[in-house]
A = this chain, B = another copy of it.
Amino acid sequence: MDEFALIRRLTGGRTGKEGAVGRSVVVGIGDDAAVVEPTPGRQMVLTCDSMVEIVDFLPWTMDDASIGWKAMAQNVSDLAAMGAEPRYALCALAAPKGFPAERLEALYAGLYACADAYGVAIVGGDMSTSPERVSVTVTAIGEVEAGRALLRSGARPGDVVFVTGPLGLSAAGLDWLLRREAGGGEPWAPLIAAHRRPRPRPAAGRALLGLATSLNDVSDGLAGEAREIAEASGVRLVLDGAAIPVDAALAAYAAFAGRDALEFILGGGEDYELVGTAPAAKADELLAALRAAGASPALVGVVAAGEPGVDLARPDGTTEPLERRGYTHFE
């Protein structure tokens, strides 16, 4: 089976959830390129992110369907962080020669499951052999009302800092997957699910249009994402350690592992919740809008003037500057 037959088998003419995009897909998979009809009054939002075996995941921390899900989810999350509605995606997959077709099918099933869950039409892509490893690059395209995209640069002193849900679960799930012995059970299923099948927040991002002054998604740990807002906005974010929500499963795992739950929250990534800022006067409206969008939001700090950076206020009244944390490549 060559890649043309394989692509037909894997995509089966599907372009994601029927009806979710309707006739806006003019030409789908099968020609040199796809053609889509932009919605009048909207701008197109474009993002691209890769997952590479060994670097971004290990064969024993992810199953094939979850690799597909997560490759799509991280791109949907970048659109969410702009306040955009996810619409289309292209998927470039590379796998070693001889990689079983069943495993490719599982990976594609995961890509489509996530695309369907978020109303994304997969309109194209590329399939290639790779010398050794699996990698998936997804490009996602969304739409946002013209001029209203939420950037990282709008935070102002006096704003509140919010998150759209509990953080650190994915990092704790990965911590467990890296340490457990083969054949062990899954006592930390909610943490493992958070790591393998993260749920990005585009509905929350849409709800924040006109309310948030800045927005970012939590792909690399709260400390690093808050720092990106601080640097882009030229302000200081002061996180309140006591106000940051700690999920019960994360608390239990942190106790089991002898770690501080805040470590997973501040330094661990891939939760794909959102962090942002908003005028204090709009805080109640914002929390209500996020709850209506299915999120579990919390206010976790304030924006101050000063050298761009992030502080953590401890319950004992002390304040500690947070260095950038989270995974970086090419260090």
Query: Interface of A with B (CB < 8 Å)?
Result: 1-4, 6, 26-27, 30-38, 40, 42-50, 52-56, 78-79, 81-82, 84, 88, 90-92, 94, 97, 123-133, 135, 137, 139-142, 144, 146-147, 149, 151-153, 215-217, 232, 328-331
Q: A3-B330, A126-B49 are in contact. Are A90 and B139 (CB under 8 A)?
A: yes
Q: Which of B36, B47, B139, B329 touches A32 (beta carbons < 8 Å)?
A: B47
Say whether A52 contacts B139, CB under 8 Å.
no
- Kindly provide the distance from the CB of A141 to the nearest chain B CB, expressed in whole angstroms: 7
Say whether A46 contacts B32, CB under 8 Å.
no
CB contacts (< 8 Å) of A331 on chain B: these are 1-2
Say whether A128 contacts B55, CB under 8 Å.
yes
Tallying the copies of this chain within the complex gives 2
- Kindly provide the distance from the CB of A8 to the nearest chain B CB, expressed in whole angstroms: 12
Say whether A125 contacts B48, CB under 8 Å.
yes
Q: A33-B79, A82-B32 are in contact. Are A128 and B46 (CB under 8 A)?
A: no
A330 and chain B: residue at smallest CB distance: B3
Say whether B27 contacts A329, CB under 8 Å.
no
A32 and chain B: residue at smallest CB distance: B81
Considering residues A30, A34, A44, which has the most beta carbons from chain B within 10 angstroms of its beta carbon? A44
CB contacts (< 8 Å) of A45 on chain B: these are 33-35
CB contacts (< 8 Å) of A215 on chain B: these are 32
- CA of A48 to CA of B92 in the docked complex: distance in angstroms? 7
Q: A131-B133, A330-B6 are in contact. Are A94 and B126 (CB under 8 A)?
A: no
Q: A32-B82, A55-B130, A144-B35 are in contact. Are A139 and B330 (CB under 8 A)?
A: no
Q: A3-B330, A46-B123, A139-B90 are in contact. Are A33 and B78 (CB under 8 A)?
A: yes
Say whether B47 contacts A124, CB under 8 Å.
yes
CB contacts (< 8 Å) of A79 on chain B: these are 32-33
- CA of A27 to CA of B81 in the docked complex: distance in angstroms? 13
- CA of A233 to CA of B159 in the docked complex: distance in angstroms? 59
Say whether B31 contacts A129, CB under 8 Å.
no
Say whether B149 contacts A26, CB under 8 Å.
yes
CB contacts (< 8 Å) of A146 on chain B: these are 37
- CA of A217 to CA of B167 in the docked complex: distance in angstroms? 47
CB contacts (< 8 Å) of A216 on chain B: these are 32
Say whether A92 contacts B50, CB under 8 Å.
yes
A217 and chain B: residue at smallest CB distance: B32
| Other A-B pairs beyond A2-B331, A32-B215, A131-B133, 14, CB < 8 Å | A3-B329, A27-B151, A32-B79, A36-B46, A46-B123, A47-B90, A52-B128, A92-B92, A97-B330, A131-B132, A132-B132, A135-B135, A139-B139, A141-B141
